[in-house]
Chain A
Amino acid sequence: MSNTKSLLTIQDLHASVEEKKIIKGLNLDVKAGEVHAIMGPNGAGKSTLGYVLSGRDGYSVESGSATLDGKDLLEMETEERARAGLFLAFQYPVEIPGVSNLEFLKASVDAQREARGEDAITSAEFLKEAKAACKQVNLPVSFLKRGVNEGFSGGEKKRNELMQMLLLKPKLCILDETDSGLDIDALQVVAEGVNSQRSADRSFIVVTHYQRLLDYIKPDFVHVLSDGKIVKSGDASLALELEAQGYAWLQKEPAEDELEG
């Protein structure tokens, strides 16, 4: 894999939320086709990383860089980052009553097609794709007509996120605690969906507090994020070690050098 080019490169990233420093010198290199897990205790900055990379209002980058496919992510608007191939699956997907799921999904797909210079997809063609995606994530087709995430259970929201990923076909997917609030069956559906999307040109960053998800989505690398930086990197076995020992032993150690991609 070392010959493959980098898809995401983050260098010495410092970022804050409401003037509070959360990310404090983070380095990460994700090559095409790789799956990276980021684990860490609560408050380490795991979710913040996704928000910073997607350009959420209120999350400001103080220094450092982040590039996707060689393009400067931090200079782009949120929607431009999405069109460049970044996808963030939310821990708490937002409910939008009054906007139907189908309308939302089609607007997303069309926006990205437009950015690639393609025509909007026809409604009939899109409906076919959306129904297939529903089936794949095990959501009733009636969910397409409902308001975005409106009244969905936790598991349904996560599957809806996954459905968006299937339809948008991003280059880099950040899954932010996708396992939280899921029972084992729902977890398997989500993991199968993610695994079906693994390919040589698509990468994943799986952010999770627990090792359990990684039984189903096998990572190539595991990183421990603590106090805003990566303090340890390893292969999948690191996750098991963390499961057994917790995070406390790592937080006392001095920061190590980051992964070798």
Chain B
Amino acid sequence: MSEWLDSAIARAQGIDDWLAPKRAHALDLLAKTSWPTRKTEAWRYTPLRPVERSTAKAITDTVTLLPTAIADFSAIELVFANGRFDASQLESNLPEGLSVSLGRDLTEAEQSAALGVFSTIKPERHIFGLVNDALAEDVLVVSVAEGVQIDQPIRISSLLSEGAESHTRVQVNLAAGSSLTVIEDVQSHGDSLLTAFVEYQVAANAILEHYRFALQTGNNIAIGGSHFNLLDHAKMHSTIVGFGSDLSRLDTDIIHAGKYADAKLNAMYLLDGKELFDLHATVEHASPNGTTEENVRCIVADRARAVFNGRIHIHPDAQKTLAELNNRNLLLSDKAEINTKPELEIYADDVKCAHGATVAQIDKQALYYLQTRGVSRARAQVMLNFGFINELIDLMPNAALAEWVRPMIRERFLQMEVN
């Protein structure tokens, strides 16, 4: 057991609110869970020493932290400052059909509906998800009414002061036939520790466009998850962009609960220095005729470490599933490390499922072609190797976000040394 977890459990025991039964359940499970070590499969390549040593503390004073400005982009801002939802930054005139509310402010009936979703999409195996269940100050519940298309994106920002520990929790409900774009972003200022979990319920024929940016670097710890439950004919398109930090861990779970659901997940991470980024992506095909397309691409320099675990589980009833998982990695240094593990578990016989993982393949033909036009070998390598990341940026449906993140990623790549 770790002191950190003991302290988290102790702090959670004093909380009594509308989430009490859920919190108690999480604490029960935590009591039975051992602190992950190198022998724990889900944490094998991601040591938790940074958490054990963290001096980050919950900050109770109210502070105002502002989300990053993005050119040509305006969103409905949902801001958490050190784990506390800052309602003053939420615009008062929300579009019709969209509601945003803390759980404690919901009616009893609404609370009961929210409890029906809480921790049902996020699997119980995520130890920090349980910590978040127990310690999140409240749950911010975002709902889109049936058939409503919300054009303006919603941005959920988890913002942390230096030295802050915080736990943020959001639930997003898309009713049948609705559509919504959600951006999850994190900004922290050093020595921070964050757990941030969002559960998405995407009802029949609803469309979710999702982004998760994990661009904080340095001595920050960010552990979180984005978890999606897709009903009949629901569609989601998710883009994850990560730079590493002392410890960055993201778990995504996509559950094809309904038939004919369609999921696209594109993740890219670029790690430098001694950074670590760990993505565990699980797709559960529990119903027939679902499609999943998953692209994970990664560049690792210096002594950085990338972890990717991509699991696709096709249940016996999930006939006619189409699932593809592709993972491409580029190592720029001898001391950089990539641990990639695609896992397919297929229990239905009429499915199409493919996976592949490659490490450090430079296209020599393309390199030669560029050189025959006078481009130096070094520059050509940059052009080619940024290309495979650029492809994923090009696939981002929101152009303003793509053009915001593209120069940041490119700049980061240009600063990486090849050695």
Contacts A79-B377, A82-B374, A168-B374; A93 near B369 (Cβ below 8 A): yes
Cβ of B321 to closest chain A Cβ, rounded Å: 27
Cβ of A70 to closest chain B Cβ, rounded Å: 19
Q: Identify the 10 closest CB pairs spanning chains A and B, nearest first.
A: A98-B387, A108-B373, A82-B374, A78-B371, A111-B374, A94-B369, A98-B391, A99-B387, A112-B374, A79-B371
> Please, what's the 1-or-0 string for B369-381, where 1 marks a CB less than 8 Å from any CB in chain A?
1111111110110
B10 at the interface (CB under 8 A from A): no
B390 at the interface (CB under 8 A from A): yes
A residues 149-168 in Cβ contact with B at 8 Å: 164, 168
Q: Which residues of A contact B383 (CB under 8 A)?
A: 99, 103-104, 107
Q: Which residues of A contact B366 (CB under 8 A)?
A: 94, 96
Interface size on A, residues (CB 8 A): 30
Compute how far the CA of A79 lies from the CA of B377 in the bound complex, rounded to whole angstroms.
8
B374 touches A96 (CB 8 A): no
Q: Which residues of A contact B384 (CB under 8 A)?
A: 96, 98-99
Cβ of B414 to closest chain A Cβ, rounded Å: 14
B388 touches A78 (CB 8 A): no
Cβ of B158 to closest chain A Cβ, rounded Å: 31
B364 at the interface (CB under 8 A from A): yes
Compute how far the CA of A56 lies from the CA of B370 in the bound complex, rounded to whole angstroms.
11
A residues 64-100 in Cβ contact with B at 8 Å: 77-79, 81-83, 87-88, 90, 93-94, 96-99
Cβ of A81 to closest chain B Cβ, rounded Å: 8
> Please, what's the 1-or-0 string for A23-43, where 1 marks a CB less than 8 Å from any CB in chain B?
000000000000000000000
B368 touches A98 (CB 8 A): no
Enumerate chain A interface residues (CB-CB to B < 8 A): 54-57, 77-79, 81-83, 87-88, 90, 93-94, 96-99, 103-104, 107-108, 111-112, 115, 147-148, 164, 168
B390 touches A99 (CB 8 A): yes
| Pairs across A and B, CB under 8 Å, 23 listed | A56-B368, A57-B364, A77-B377, A78-B377, A82-B372, A88-B372, A96-B384, A97-B387, A97-B391, A98-B386, A98-B388, A98-B390, A98-B391, A98-B394, A99-B386, A104-B370, A104-B383, A107-B370, A107-B383, A111-B374, A111-B376, A168-B373, A168-B374
Cβ of A159 to closest chain B Cβ, rounded Å: 16
B373 touches A82 (CB 8 A): yes
Enumerate chain B interface residues (CB-CB to A < 8 A): 363-366, 368-377, 379-380, 383-384, 386-391, 394
B372 touches A54 (CB 8 A): yes
Chain B CB count within 10 A is highest, among A96, A103, A112, A115, for A96
A94 touches B365 (CB 8 A): yes
A79 touches B387 (CB 8 A): no
Contacts A57-B364, A99-B384, A107-B383; A77 near B371 (Cβ below 8 A): yes
Compute how far the CA of A55 lies from the CA of B373 in the bound complex, rounded to whole angstroms.
12
Compute how far the CA of A45 lies from the CA of B311 in the bound complex, rounded to whole angstroms.
49
Compute how far the CA of A115 lies from the CA of B394 in the bound complex, rounded to whole angstroms.
32
Cβ of A261 to closest chain B Cβ, rounded Å: 25
Cβ of A49 to closest chain B Cβ, rounded Å: 14
A90 touches B371 (CB 8 A): no
Cβ of B166 to closest chain A Cβ, rounded Å: 37
Compute how far the CA of A260 lies from the CA of B116 in the bound complex, rounded to whole angstroms.
90
Compute how far the CA of A83 lies from the CA of B374 in the bound complex, rounded to whole angstroms.
5
Cβ of A37 to closest chain B Cβ, rounded Å: 21
Compute how far the CA of A82 lies from the CA of B365 in the bound complex, rounded to whole angstroms.
16
Compute how far the CA of A57 lies from the CA of B388 in the bound complex, rounded to whole angstroms.
23
Compute how far the CA of A57 lies from the CA of B390 in the bound complex, rounded to whole angstroms.
27
Contacts A98-B388, A104-B383; A90 near B369 (Cβ below 8 A): yes
Q: Which residues of B contact A77 (CB under 8 A)?
A: 371, 377
A96 touches B391 (CB 8 A): no
B369 touches A79 (CB 8 A): no
Chain A CB count within 10 A is highest, among B375, B388, B389, for B375
Q: Which residues of B contact A87 (CB under 8 A)?
A: 372
Compute how far the CA of A88 lies from the CA of B372 in the bound complex, rounded to whole angstroms.
7
Q: Which residues of B contact A81 (CB under 8 A)?
A: 372
